Amino acid sequence: MLKKKGTSASVSIRKMDIEDIDAVLIVERDAFPTPWTREAFISEVSKNKFAYYFVLELKGHIIGYCGLWKVMDEAQITNIAILTEHRGQSYGEYILLYVMQWLRGVHAKNLSLEVRESNTPAQSLYHKLGFSQVGVRKKYYADNQEDAWVMWVNLNDNYISN
């Protein structure tokens, strides 16, 4: 568990458990027009040996999460989300930095993700943390056929640390 520095509020990050799925589904449904199902999260947390999920808690309540797959020395973010009312307060940056640090500790070299072309706040965060746009997935999002930017970072490069 990691506690956020520089705040009086109790903020922590820990690995996600099956018992966290109901709270994570609230975040998921708040953040995405086509949210993952309960069954998808159960499978990820209990069956997928390549999946790692982390939750961000504020005063004991889950307000965000980040999921990823790690295969050998490569990692891919599957989803990352913060409840709407807690966005713009650096919680997304905090959990992403935590995940990047954790990945370095388990010897991952590269991290990639997809982000909506229209999601400029997320793109700004990813650029800030050293990600570069390396490609486009045309009509990636099923809800509106929006393109996704493929972004990538070398975890051995310098990035902002907390």
Edge to edge, the sheet with strand 61-71 lists: 2-3, 11-15, 51-58, 61-71, 74-82, 110-116, 148-154, 132-137
Rounded (10°) angle between helices 91-105 and 120-128: 40
Smallest CA-to-CA distance from 41 within 20, 58, 62 is with 20
Tell me which of 19, 98, 114, 117 is the catalytic residue.
114
Is 114 marked active-site? yes
Tell me which of 53, 91, 98, 126 is the catalytic residue.
126
**Percent helix, strand and coil across the chain, each to the nearest 5:** 30, 35, 35
Amino acid at 3: K
Question: Residue 112's beta-bridge partner residues?
Answer: 76, 152
- What whole-number distance in Å separates Cα of residue 42 and Cα of residue 10? 27
Catalytic positions: 114, 126
